[in-house]
Structure 1
Amino acid sequence: MTVLIPMRFPALLALVATTTVSFGAEDGAQVYNTLCVACHGPDGKGLNGLPPLVGSDWPKGPAERTIKIVLHGMTGPVEVAGKAYNIVMPPQGAVLSDEKIAAALTYVRKNFAGNAGAVTTELVKSVRAATATRTTPWTAEELLKDHPFPPPKTALRNLVGTMYKGEWKEMPDFSKLKPAQIEDENTGIISPAQASLKDAFAMVWTAQFQAPEDGKYTFVFDCDDYGALYVNGERVAEIKGIGPVGERRKEVSVLLKKGAVPFRLEYVEVAGHEIIQLSYKGPKDKEFKWLSDTKGTVAKAKRAPIPVEAKDGYTASYRNFIGGTTSRAIGFGFSNATNLTYSADNCAVELLWTGKFMDGAQHWVDRGQGNAPPAGDGVVKVSDGMVVAGPSAPSGAIISYQVNKDGGKGASFKVVNEPAEFKGYQLDKNGNPTFKVAGEGFTLTDAWTPADMRGSAGLARKIVAAGDKPVTIVLSRGLAVQANAGAFEVGPRLVVRAISGVAPAAAGSDLVLTLKPGESAVLGYSFR
């Protein structure tokens, strides 16, 4: 949802309260539209391919599930509204009160989850107490084990499973066999586990397949061992012999009329694994839908690019891992084809580039992982490491949320000493970000907007300092800095110009800006 993660103890506790937005306990809309809208969108449908709330089972059902996510975060693969994602959602429990969490989740459940019911402050408090020792984000598997979704409805109605005991070397004539077990399978899901046996059994499932409209329906069928699929009284696919899934998969299309269609699946398990994989796609379906509890892979075309870009003047954002910066970074693609990434770890804009923003295909298709590089041209690595420094070392430690970098699973909290810490960001009506940073005796706001810079596309940056101590910001590090006609040429293609307020200064191969309390600087960024 948001990136308000780290928290300082004890010296900045009072300061944090002055640098974060205040909400009424009952104003869930304001909490959501300030902290959650950047990822989930104002309409709950998600922005730039990030997980939606509308159409998702996650905000429905037991409120404890979503309370745990907000308190402690969530990481790893997850399926939302039928689509696979691989996410890292930071925890919010350290910065959001029980009242704010209850208000935000009540707003989400009412507006995006079919009026699923209010979340009380008392429930949030009890879940917080029960999970107080939790130090890592939840996984989808953990959450669904404790708070499972209700069984989804499938296209199979009145599904009945009939089990037979015995050993066969070919598909038997089931009309001549005596059933050992007959059960209604109200979930509409086909599973060999319904036989309660490991080897030497057979099953037959019968049902009515609900075709929502006339047209072509494509079925993909595979199993270990024997199997046969019948649709509308016709055998459309058969798996012969003993063998694993994968190499014998059948894909077949049939024309169906709208309404209930007779369905039958026959299966024989000899020994080894008990697996059935069955999916279908209707005339208007974009993805295959599964009728079996085991989900295999459906052949897909080569991964096509998914451009992430500003739309209708609204700045695009990208919250997955981005190459060339830290794991807790977020990218923004502006309406004038200028782009940046901001590292929450280092309180810094670390990458600037022009042209295309990001290609979401790596992370949004087939649970892709790794770091996606910027999609545009001439990426400038502006800095590496913490760029904000106060006049002295902080007296309080920062508790920082960090993804493990040593190959271990999950993430953890770690006490570190840093001169500044990230306090989140806000978006204006056009999606342009203002980042917030706090240190010992100072706070900063750092706002970025697209702008025309002497006839070329650029960015305007406004930095404002508050508090009672001065602060220094490294605008670029380790790049050649050359003063030229009232501006600074930084590296091979970046130009930084003071527009108003305090001007930056060159310090060797760095470009730095020092602000006293109450001072500000407006800078213009353009590209050569």
Structure 2
Amino acid sequence: MNLVLKIHQSVVACSVLLASPLLAAEDGKQIYQLNCVACHGAMGEGAGAGTFPPLAQSEWLSGTAERSIQILLHGLEGPVDVNGKTYNLAMPPQGALNDAQIAAVLTYVRSHFGNKESAVTTKQVVAARKKSENRSSPWTANALLKEYPFPKQEKVLKDIVMEVYKGKWEMLPDFSQIDPDAVEEEAYGLFSFRNVAQKKQFGVVWQGEIVAPEDAEYCFEMMADDGARLSVAGNEVVSAAASEAKGEWRIGKVKLKKGANPIQLEYYQLDGGVDLQLRWFGPGISRKQLLTDRPKGRRKKPSAPVIDLTPTNKEAALYNNFITGTTSRALGVGYPGGVNTAFSTEHCAPELLWRGKFISGGRHWTGRGQGTENPLSKDVVSLTGGVPYRIAAEEAVNWQDLPKVQYLGYSLDTNRYPTFRYRVGQAEILEKSLPNASGMQRHLKITSDKNAYLAVLLAKSGSEQGSRELLVDKKLRVTSTESIQKGPEGYYTLLPLKKGTNTFTLNYSWD
């Protein structure tokens, strides 16, 4: 199975799980299984054969819980190092989760998958949300660590001396038979390339001691390009040769005595980017600990492939990630027949509508990650922006009076068509869109606790085609069961609500 197919399957699986309704009981494991497992794996190992970052023994879960809370609240984009590997994916904000659910799921992951961190309380989430309430963009790793740094770890490598060799080798040489070009003490407490001037055709040997917390067996994991060998306590533990598959962790175990044990790491670089990563774990170590510094000259990654998520059968396709033209908290829905929408879960409305192909999963699911993804079609209509609802006691609408809008999640039918649930003021709304030959229909089921009017913004601009019809972008017709009027925010329809349950239909058709 090729990588693109694996990633495509992961995207589809992620869409199914993210589409589950919010849970009534705050069960961290259930929330994780519904919202996180498709990307981070059932055991926190990182899904897609390492395509997605792991949570198992992740340093990002260590120490203060606020770092993880902020990721769930605002998302994370750009390069990030997790357990010695660089990822460049985009994690969208998890706006569908409330404070109690965020606390529950973080408590679960911080106490499972080899993590041994304290529980997270709802009070902590509330405080973190308030602290960053003005943040409008996702975090980057550097910005997050500047605000919430990792706990300081005691150095386990001691008295490390580094020898640098110049030469061109096809395999790991016997460095004991070669004179080094430079010898110096390692000052960073890690096996580091910071003081290596060469970018290719060189070798390095580090020698010193590693301090084991207990008399026990310890596991070492190594990834190298081109070749490397690790020896601890006089035993060769793990090695990697240039002829072996790149990007794979090599694993070895060795019994160590408590305290200092001799350690030697050998490495050679022929051509290409420098890549050497070594980590260890075992008794007395709370999580996998990286022993190497980040190397210079990372290999360039190829551009993101197109992973076309356009549905090919009767089921809808879902895309929960950053989409160009809408908010960061949005769900893309590709319906069979070439009708597609982007529903903002922040504003609780469809903000984009397009026909033709749906969207590509390549940018956010194959190691690039930054920015937003464009629909695969150029035939995109932008409908609204901002909260598109107002509640009025009479037909006169005050557009300055912004109601409280609360997103409550969504559920799927057998064809994976979502029904969104949200609240606008005192009215609770169930919204489901159904595609047809000319476009789609929005079905609104509104339960109100009193008689009122609900103004629904349809589009920021357009031209009226009658009292109940609007033409948007000269190609999309919007019709309502009620009259359409022009207001300061654009064109809207005014829906009269009676106490109890009300139903309305909005039609969208392409000319």
Which interval holds the TM-score relative to the shorter structure? 0.5 to 0.7
Contact kept, 8 Å, 1:436 with 1:445, in 2: the verdict is: yes
1:352: how far off?
0.6
Q: Paired residue for 1:317?
A: 319
Secondary structure of the residue aligned to 1:307 is coil
**What do the CA deviations read for 1:9-47 (whole angstroms, capped 9, x no partner)?**
xxxxxxxxxxx978335x33565577x469969968689
1:417: how far off?
6.4
Contact kept, 8 Å, 2:96 with 2:345, in 1: the verdict is: no
Cα distance in 2 for residues equivalent to 1:466 and 1:41: 40
1:339: how far off?
1.1
CA 106–327 in structure 1, closer or farther in 2 if over 3 Å, else same: closer
CA 108–161 in structure 1, closer or farther in 2 if over 3 Å, else same: closer
Contact kept, 8 Å, 2:430 with 2:445, in 1: the verdict is: yes
Contact kept, 8 Å, 1:72 with 1:92, in 2: the verdict is: no
Cα distance in 2 for residues equivalent to 1:388 and 1:164: 68
CA 314–183 in structure 1, closer or farther in 2 if over 3 Å, else same: same
Which residue identity does 1:436 align to in structure 2? Y
Q: Paired residue for 1:372?
A: 373
Contact kept, 8 Å, 1:190 with 1:291, in 2: the verdict is: yes
Secondary structure of the residue aligned to 1:428 is strand
Contact kept, 8 Å, 2:225 with 2:274, in 1: the verdict is: yes
Q: Paired residue for 1:391?
A: 392
1:434: how far off?
0.4
Contact kept, 8 Å, 2:358 with 2:377, in 1: the verdict is: yes
Q: Percent identity?
A: 19
Q: Paired residue for 1:254?
A: 243
Q: Paired residue for 1:514?
A: 495
1:480: how far off?
3.0
**What do the CA deviations read for 1:417-459 (whole angstroms, capped 9, x no partner)?**
65234312523132614052423xx3242523444x2x56635
Q: Paired residue for 1:114?
A: 113
- Equivalences for residues 289-368 of structure 1 within 5 A: 293-310=294-311, 313-323=315-325, 325-326=326-327, 328-343=329-344, 346-363=347-364, 367=368
CA 92–143 in structure 1, closer or farther in 2 if over 3 Å, else same: farther
- Equivalences for residues 53-452 of structure 1 within 5 A: 57=58, 60-62=61-63, 64=65, 68-69=69-70, 73-79=74-80, 82-87=86-91, 89=93, 95-97=98-100, 100-109=101-110, 113-114=112-113, 116=115, 120=119, 125=123, 133=131, 139-141=140-142, 143-144=144-145, 146=148, 148=150, 161-163=160-162, 175=179, 181=185, 189-192=191-194, 204-205=205-206, 219=225, 254=243, 264-265=266-267, 278-279=274-275, 293-310=294-311, 313-323=315-325, 325-326=326-327, 328-343=329-344, 346-363=347-364, 367=368, 369-391=370-392, 419-429=402-412, 430=416, 432-439=418-425, 442-451=426-435
Q: Does 1:479 align with 2:479?
A: no
Unaligned runs of 5+ in 2: 1-20, 169-174, 198-202, 209-218, 231-240, 253-263, 278-289
1:373: how far off?
2.6
Cα distance in 2 for residues equivalent to 1:364 and 1:423: 29
**What do the CA deviations read for 1:489-512 (whole angstroms, capped 9, x no partner)?**
6554434566xxxx2323368351
CA 303–104 in structure 1, closer or farther in 2 if over 3 Å, else same: closer
1:363: how far off?
4.9
Q: Does 1:24 align with 2:32?
A: no
1:340: how far off?
1.1
CA 160–31 in structure 1, closer or farther in 2 if over 3 Å, else same: same
Which residue identity does 1:104 align to in structure 2? V
Contact kept, 8 Å, 2:161 with 2:185, in 1: the verdict is: yes
1:84: how far off?
0.8
Secondary structure of the residue aligned to 1:445 is strand
Secondary structure of the residue aligned to 1:24 is coil
Cα distance in 2 for residues equivalent to 1:513 and 1:119: 50
**What do the CA deviations read for 1:151-202 (whole angstroms, capped 9, x no partner)?**
9xxxxxx99953369xx999998648996658998x6x4433699xxxxxx9
Secondary structure of the residue aligned to 1:205 is strand
Which residue identity does 2:89 align to in structure 1? Y
Which residue identity does 1:163 align to in structure 2? M
Secondary structure of the residue aligned to 2:392 is coil
Cα distance in 1 for residues equivalent to 2:428 and 2:130: 31
1:516: how far off?
0.8
**What do the CA deviations read for 1:44-90 (whole angstroms, capped 9, x no partner)?**
8689x996666682675447256533685444435367421245536
Secondary structure of the residue aligned to 1:514 is strand
**What do the CA deviations read for 1:369-407 (whole angstroms, capped 9, x no partner)?**
4443321252222335542122279xxxxxxxxxxxxxx
Cα distance in 2 for residues equivalent to 1:295 and 1:125: 42
Contact kept, 8 Å, 1:488 with 1:495, in 2: the verdict is: yes
1:336: how far off?
4.2
Cα distance in 1 for residues equivalent to 2:180 and 2:54: 51
Contact kept, 8 Å, 2:447 with 2:502, in 1: the verdict is: yes
CA 88–318 in structure 1, closer or farther in 2 if over 3 Å, else same: closer
Q: Paired residue for 2:448?
A: 466
Cα distance in 2 for residues equivalent to 1:96 and 1:376: 37
CA 365–464 in structure 1, closer or farther in 2 if over 3 Å, else same: same
**RMSD, matched Cα:** 5.7
Cα distance in 2 for residues equivalent to 1:40 and 1:423: 26
Contact kept, 8 Å, 1:74 with 1:91, in 2: the verdict is: no
Cα distance in 1 for residues equivalent to 2:336 and 2:354: 13
Cα distance in 2 for residues equivalent to 1:41 and 1:180: 41
Secondary structure of the residue aligned to 1:306 is coil
Contact kept, 8 Å, 1:70 with 1:92, in 2: the verdict is: no
Which residue identity does 2:424 align to in structure 1? A
**What do the CA deviations read for 1:204-224 (whole angstroms, capped 9, x no partner)?**
3379xx999xxxx9936xxxx
CA 109–68 in structure 1, closer or farther in 2 if over 3 Å, else same: closer
